[in-house]
Amino acid sequence: MPALSAQRRDLDFLLFDMLGVQGLTRAPRFVEHSRETFGAALDAAQEIAEREYAPLNALLDADEPRMVNGEVRLPAELKPALAKALAAGFNAATFDADQGGMQLPQVVAQSCWALFKGACVAADTYCSLSIGVANMLSRFGTPAQRATYLGPLLSGRCFGTMVLTEPQAGSALADVRASATPLAHGGYAIRAQKIFITAGDHGLAENIVHLVLARLPDAPAGVKGLSLFIVPKYRVEPDGSCGAANDVVLAGLIHKMGSKGTTSALLQFGAQGACVGELLGEPHQGLACMFHMMNEARINVGIAATMLAAAGYRHALAYARERVQGRASADPRSNPVPIVRHADVRRMLLAQKAIAEGGLSLCLQGALWADEQQVADSAQARDLAGALLDLMTPVIKAWCASQGRVANALAIQVLGGYGYTRDHPVEQHYRDNRLNSIHEGTDGIQALDLLGRKVGARGGEALAALGRLVASTIAQSRLSPPLAELAAALERAWGELHDTTALLVRELPRAPQLALANASLYLHVFGHTVVAWMWLRQALAAASRLESPDQAFHQAKLAATHYFFRYELPQTRPLHDLLRRLDPLLTELDDAVL
Amino acid sequence: MPALSAQRRDLDFLLFDMLGVQGLTRAPRFVEHSRETFGAALDAAQEIAEREYAPLNALLDADEPRMVNGEVRLPAELKPALAKALAAGFNAATFDADQGGMQLPQVVAQSCWALFKGACVAADTYCSLSIGVANMLSRFGTPAQRATYLGPLLSGRCFGTMVLTEPQAGSALADVRASATPLAHGGYAIRAQKIFITAGDHGLAENIVHLVLARLPDAPAGVKGLSLFIVPKYRVEPDGSCGAANDVVLAGLIHKMGSKGTTSALLQFGAQGACVGELLGEPHQGLACMFHMMNEARINVGIAATMLAAAGYRHALAYARERVQGRASADPRSNPVPIVRHADVRRMLLAQKAIAEGGLSLCLQGALWADEQQVADSAQARDLAGALLDLMTPVIKAWCASQGRVANALAIQVLGGYGYTRDHPVEQHYRDNRLNSIHEGTDGIQALDLLGRKVGARGGEALAALGRLVASTIAQSRLSPPLAELAAALERAWGELHDTTALLVRELPRAPQLALANASLYLHVFGHTVVAWMWLRQALAAASRLESPDQAFHQAKLAATHYFFRYELPQTRPLHDLLRRLDPLLTELDDAVL
């Protein structure tokens, strides 16, 4: 798997040379760790990714989940592969050592899981959802709930899901109708029809723990009336063993264009009146709770999208080095050359690299903020890291998803006709990655979150803090003459973003529809600007390592940085003009006029 | 099929209100025609598209061609559907009345075929290739060749293919190895291994006529040594009936991501030494001949890409009007609204409309130039129309393909999770359309053709002529106050394109690699600029019809024009900067540095 080795090499660079995550080992929580233990975890993940997950990728796509006798049938090869990752402890990667966890920082654990995603994202999804549910129980569960579910979720005896969407309520969670009625002897009777439930049913584990959004009687309308319930597929006996079925019925499967290996189910809860759940967290606080899981899932989506982009890039690069086609001169008697010599192919390769590795570095920066939110020295620093993570989550999710798709389209293009066939993996990457702009909140929802809530939150505190970080990179780059020009370009771009943001945030209370009309384009501009920042940081780390034996690796980082600054970042300029004009075209349009 | 009715409505507008194709009936060749006869042909095509082709689209995708006992097996429903189009005379739409043809202008015939493509492009491809082969024989064939093949191709007794690609020679036709050895008693022994042959085998007709690129003995190296041969699947007896098999063996099928209904085959010619072909046209002139068919095919690709974009747009629009989700106000007790009310959804719909209808109008303008090349009053006008068509062919092909894909991605996004399922057609559009940037010359090849050959040809004569047409639209728009601002924007954009082109063409002889390095971006800019011109022409036609009963249709045209000028056209500015900088990043890169 040369692709995964290359990705591992890049992760090492991003984690240790750019982000300096080894600094986390100064925090008491990670004091037992070192760069070596981080590396060992990555080694173990890489081996499982290569040996267990990679062979599954095409297989899960070709043999999608089927419904047989009311249950989901998956390829037999999936369960033993997941068992390897579970046995190695990767579901418990961030959990405390005394819970049997590795007590790794988020940013290192995410890097391990990223290798799984790069090999077979459909397989990894079953585990990543279970980890999300374990984190939720760990944070919001009662001691009894934790005792019942946490161990099985971390060991893989039990898998988890998040259950939000209903046929009439996709992006609009305010319209969720699922009901929860208190029962005389404790617990709640759950009634719900849910759709698009990822990993909603399967035979991979003894039990499945669904976290279900539903309304208590007399709950207020809208999202403030949602509560969260733990609803197992099989009731759990006092000794922890699985009991009777809990009236959670598989009503159908969704047949998708890609990401086929991940089951997507229609589930009916309580059709027989016999589905029992327990409340997780406080009544009517369900959405706030769920957002903890959702935000984690959004980082996961960003990483999956960039790892798919990286997988496509690596395949296209290997192909371009081998495939001989066309000539460097007009003389037909000259020898044909590998297509990596053609400028247009190089452009497509650099574009993919810039998206994949630039996006991944942004995701990992997000994960590092998640760690700093927990372990930074001061309350202020922890608070700020949390605010930065909140600010960046929609950008990580939506920018990586939409740009990852662009990268995967280019991978197909490098292969030409061969790339369009099912004999190469790039067409699957393209289909798989299309999902990432949709699930866990569409690109449009992320954009409204960013511009409508995040940038203006607490007086724009997080954006200002981000601006200070960007300014520090700019100052550092000015000291390195070859990067000074890029520093100036980033300073201009940041200034533009600052001004556009100020204008839109000022307009929001007066004319929210108009200010938010082009939120998606705002997110695109925001993403391009922060990814330029990430590339400048990568360039700084690479420029100081040009004398190392791995010179080509570092020069490639500089080439991708230059590509991003010359080809991508300037595209934000006309979008700033558009955003500032508060153009009423979209808001004033008559519905009939389309 | 509301989508096809809407497309038909748009075709009527583009043909009669914008392009004024009824003016062609002044030419002696079309004097028997009128707007009514054109409309009757479109009516017939629409009926066949709706009744015969549309039901096939999902079916051909789900049940792709299989190889059974050395032959291709296709769904049984395909043949009778094609028979309807053939019986109605659509293969002979542009042929002379005395050959049994409709003697329609290209632009009208292409509009009829566009309706077939909008309903099921995979099915239409079998016919469109046969039409291409018929045109080639009509132009380059001897009287005997025409007598043998033309009738069967037009009636559908026989289908056609174009056979260029070999495993080692995709974009690089200079490396084609197929050989043709003169036989003692006339004809040539053909030996070739060919790949990606569209409609290369099937049981839809008695015979298949392959047009094969191959080298005569002692042919010069490169593309100047290619000749073209007529190679039937079954030898043709003197009485026109099918004789023995001609040693054309189906060696395998290509399994694609999309466009699955169109067979793509590996063919082996002459493995038993028993494949006989006849020369079509002059020796060593094969590529020049083939380019007549290829250029036609490129217009077909552009139309297919825009019709897929239109199909996705129409489906997304219908969905957005029905799907209720989210609110116009923050009050959760207010009623949810159809998603067409949300600005982001409107942006995505207008973007699709701008691409689909803007692209289609450009394709039809190309087809109209093809007609004017035949029937314009003066030799000079005919010559100029041909030059304009030559110039625009790569833009039509590549811009429509790459932008069509963008539109289809947006259609999925409007539908959200539902769009990613196989229950809606938009995911198939997305997969099908991905092919269009690859076949008949990749986007990169089109870009080299445009910048490396076309814009500078004959001293830039075609570009200058195009500039005069653009200037005339600008002058006309200035007289209509609401459009004056757009006229000024187009004038600026055209000026930029002119200047960038002049700079690059000047640089070409000195530093071809550098001048061509960003040819793909140049084509994108060129496409955006000419599509802006097409939209301004649509706006002119619409603005004068706002009092008509169909007011919403015309206002929508104005909305899409404004969208294109505010959201799309400004994106060309940073690309001009990049192009003019003659940036050496791509050309100076070391191969190892990627």
Kindly write down the DSSP assignment for every residue of B105-129, as one continuous string: -HHHHHHHHHHHHHHHHHHHHHHHH
Q: Rounded distance, CA A35 to CA A23, Å?
A: 9
Q: In the prediction, which pLDDT does A231 show? A: 98
Give the residue-averaged pLDDT of A340-350.
97
- Kindly state the percentage of chain A with pLDDT values over 70: 100
Q: Is the pLDDT of residue A171 over 90?
A: no
Interatomic CA distance for residues B547 and B515, integer angstroms: 49
| Residue A470 confidence (pLDDT) | 98
Architecture of the domain delimited by B160-282: Beta Barrel (2.40)
Residue A170: the pLDDT is: 85
Residue A567, pLDDT > 70, answer yes
* Chain B environment of A313 (Cβ under 8 Å): none
Contact B413 A317 (CB under 8 A): no
pLDDT of residue A302: 98
In this prediction, residue B329 carries a pLDDT of: 78
- What is the pLDDT at residue B333? 83
* Strand ranges, E, within A104-178: 158-163
Taking the CA of residue A190 and the nearest CA in chain B, the distance in Å comes to 23
- Which residues of chain B does A222 touch, with a Cβ-Cβ cutoff of 8 Å? 332-333
* Residue A329, pLDDT above cutoff 90: no
Helix (H) / strand (E) containing A542:
helix A519-543
Residues 6+ apart with CB under 8 A from A202: A65, A72, A74, A126, A159, A208, A263
Cα-only R_g, chain B: 24
Contact B438 A431 (CB under 8 A): no
Q: DSSP states of B492-552 as a string?
A: HHHHHHHHHHHHHHHHTTT-HHHHHTTHHHHHHHHHHHHHHHHHHHHHHHHHTTTTSTTHH
Q: What is the CATH number of domain A158-283?
A: 2.40.110.20
Size of interface A-B (CB pairs under 8 A): 238
Chain A residues whose CB is inside 8 A of the B325 CB are: 168-172, 175
User: A161-170, A253-262, A364-373, B243-252 — which is least confidently predicted?
Assistant: A161-170
Run of H or E residues at B295: helix B286-322
* Smallest Cα distance from B201 to chain A, Å: 18
**Amino acid letter, A252:** G
Question: What's the predicted TM-score (pTM) here?
Answer: 0.97
Would you call A47 a catalytic residue per the annotation? no
- Locate the domains of chain B by residue range: 2-153, 160-282, 442-586
pLDDT of residue A188: 98
Q: Is the pLDDT reported for residue A330 higher than 80?
A: no
Tokens 């997507």 belong to A264
Catalytic residue among B372, B440, B496, B568: B440
Cα B440 to Cα B162: distance, rounded to the nearest angstrom: 10
Tell me, what's the pLDDT at A339?
96
Give per-10-residue mean pLDDT for chain B (594 aa): 89 98 98 98 98 98 96 97 98 95 98 98 97 97 97 97 93 92 96 97 97 96 94 96 97 97 97 97 94 93 98 97 89 89 97 98 98 97 97 98 98 98 97 97 97 96 97 97 96 98 97 96 98 98 93 96 98 98 95 82
On chain A, the residues whose CB falls within 8 A of the CB of B340 are 591, 594
Which of A431-435, A589-593, B62-66, B176-180 has the lowest average pLDDT? A589-593
Q: Tell me: the pLDDT tens digits for A294-326?
A: 999 999 999 999 999 999 999 999 999 999 999
DSSP-derived pairing of the beta strands A226-232 and A207-215? antiparallel
Residue from the list A327, A567, A594 with its beta carbon closest to the beta carbon of B556: A594
- A416/B571 touch (CB, cutoff 8 Å), yes or no: no
Assign domain A2-153 to a CATH class. Answer: mainly alpha
A54-58, A64-68, A329-333, B87-91: lowest mean pLDDT where? Answer: A329-333
